[in-house]
Amino acid sequence: MARPIKYLGIGILVILVISGVWVGITKGNSDGYNDGFQSGFSDGNEDAQASGYKEGYIEGFKSGVPEGWDIGWDLGIEEMIKRCDCDNAMFICYLTQDVTFNEMLNFIKSDQTDKNEFSDDYNCLGYALTLKSNASIRGIRCAVVILYYRNEFTGERNIGHAINAFETTDKGIVYVEPQSDALRYNISIGQSYSSQLPYFSMAVSNLCRNLYPEYDLRYHDCLKRARQELSEDRIVRIETIW
């Protein structure tokens, strides 16, 4: 009878071992799954938050900076232009009013702003500010007009040119190119500014004539290309600051 008891004990031991192994496998799998799930969820959530934050930051930076730049630029330009009616050194502000077309024309003819030399430090905005300041000293109301062009390559709106405007009492708004005293009576969005100036055709002809004789076919090709390139200044926004 001793041998069956021995075999029975071995069988029970085997069953216990198998049960223990199964319990260990089951619990280990459950614990491993839970630990792995929690760890993976935590890491994935952190990665997703970090990735989302990064993408949101980049997108916010890309859209916010240009908009903030435009707002700051517009406010800065407007404030600078308005100060032209005042002599800050003498603490004097000039009382200005609209004048007739002939009075405006007489002022433009006597003013010497167009004789100033263009440079990197004194560009179209410098001319427009000078003419406005000189007009204010004479008691004439004058505006600086900022023309914005669309960059053909980036699509961005860029400041393109600065001129002046007078609201005459008998002929309405008259625009003045302060670098040449040329007059214009209408400026609108979608127009090419330079191609409508009185001296535009003459300037293009002189440019090509300096390169080729008029009988040369290249002279006519030059005229065509120059007119196209010089007129790519379509106005997309007009800002008039009195």
Q: Could you read off the pLDDT of 92-128 as tens digits, one per residue?
A: 678 899 999 999 999 999 999 999 998 888 998 999 9
Tokens of 239: 């800002």
Could you tell me if 132 and 198 lie in one domain? yes
pLDDT band for 34, please (50, 70, 90 cuts). low
- Where do runs of H (alpha helix) occur along 166-216? 200-209
Could you tell me if 152 and 46 lie in one domain? no
Q: Which of 47-56, 122-131, 143-152 has the highest mean pLDDT?
A: 122-131
Query: Per the domain annotation, does 81 fall within a domain?
Result: no
Q: Give the domain range for residue 126.
A: 94-241
Could you tell me if 121 and 234 lie in one domain? yes
- Final residue in a domain of this structure, among 22, 38, 72: 72
Could you tell me if 135 and 200 lie in one domain? yes
Could you tell me if 51 and 14 lie in one domain? yes
Inter-residue contact 143 to 242 (CB < 8 Å) = yes
Mean pLDDT over all residues of the chain? 74
Assign residue 140 the CATH number of its domain. 3.30.460
Residue 17 reports pLDDT greater than 50: no
Rounded to two decimals, what is the model's pTM?
0.56
- Final residue in a domain of this structure, among 19, 39, 72: 72
Residues 178-236: pLDDT tens digits?
Answer: 998 989 888 988 887 776 665 566 667 777 888 888 888 888 888 887 766 655 677 88
Counted domains in the chain: 2
Q: What is the mean pLDDT of residues 43-63?
A: 59
Could you tell me if 128 and 177 lie in one domain? yes
Could you tell me if 57 and 141 lie in one domain? no
Distance, in Å, from the CA atom of 73 to the CA atom of 85, rounded to the nearest integer, reads 20
- List CB contacts of 152: < 8 A, sequence separation 6 or more: 232
- The whole-angstrom distance between residue 59's C-alpha and the CA centroid of its chain comes to 16
Query: Per the domain annotation, does 237 fall within a domain?
Result: yes
Distance, in Å, from the CA atom of 126 to the CA atom of 179, rounded to the nearest integer, reads 10
Sheet with 182-184: strands ordered across: 182-184, 172-177, 157-168, 143-150, 235-241
Query: Per the domain annotation, does 145 fall within a domain?
Result: yes
Neighbours of 110 (CB within 10 A): 9
Tell me the angle at which helices 124-137 and 2-82 cross, rounded to the nearest 10 degrees. 40
Query: Per the domain annotation, does 30 fall within a domain?
Result: yes
- Tokens 């085997």 found at: 14
